[in-house]
Amino acid sequence: MLKRTLVREWMTASVISITSDTAITTAHQIMKKNRIRRLPVVDDGKLVGIVTIGDIREASPSGATTLSIWELNYLWSQLKVQNVMTRKVHTVHQNDPMINAARIMLESKVSGLPVVDDEDHLVGIVTESDVFRMVVKDQTGEVETEESQNS
């Protein structure tokens, strides 16, 4: 079954995305509010990059500085996503087999892939959690929901 399962069956179609000129502080707030770890970056309708919580943490101000907290926060608020995003993004198409998406994530050491159409328009996202859910369903016939995870 795993070889016949397609990305479109497990991807999240309602993807939260941002533009490359989004302030990094705004991107961070969106991630925290929505409890997500990555945001596809879309300009003029096309995928141009991806920013992760790790990218944002790396861009965060260091405590080893002589700048005041206000100066640090001001400088950080001026930083745009385009300065820290990954531009060469691994992607999949919605009709690709999920096993291919899992292989790309494993080999590339990434935890999520934007799903694009032939014109690089964002149509979804598939993550390692989707792969885990797929495997659990394949092996047990059951899929753990977010509600049961939080119980």
Domain 7-149: state its class: alpha beta
Stretch 100-115: mean pLDDT: 95
If DSSP codes are grouped into helix, strand and coil, which group holds residue 15?
coil
**Residue 125, pLDDT score:** 96
DSSP string, 131-147: HHHHHHHHHHS----HH
Residue 30 confidence (pLDDT)? 96
pLDDT of residue 135: 85
The residue ranges of DSSP E strands in 1-149, in sequence order, are: 38-43, 46-52, 112-116, 122-127
CB count within 10 Å of CB 17 equals: 16
Give the per-residue pLDDT at 64.
56
Beta strands (DSSP E) in the chain are 38-43, 46-52, 112-116, 122-127
CB 116: neighbour CB atoms within 10 A? 20
**Residue 147 pLDDT class (50, 70, 90 cuts):** very low
pLDDT at residue 4, rounded to an integer: 84
What's the mean pLDDT when you consider all of the chain?
85
Q: How far apart are CA 62 and CA 19, in angstroms?
A: 25
Could you give the CA distance from residue 49 to residue 41 in angstroms, rounded to a whole number? 5
Buried-exposed string 29-57: b where 16+ CB fall within 10 A, e elsewhere: eebeeeebebbbbbeeeebbbbbbeebbe
pLDDT given at position 77: 73
Q: Please check the confidence at residue 94 and state whether its pLDDT lies above 60.
A: yes
Q: What is the CA radius of gyration of the chain?
A: 17
Domain ranges across the chain: 7-149
**Percent of the chain having pLDDT more than 70?**
79
Q: Summarize the confidence of residues 99-111 as an average pLDDT.
A: 94
Q: What is the pLDDT of residues 4-44, one digit of tens each?
A: 889 999 999 999 999 999 999 899 999 999 999 999 999 99
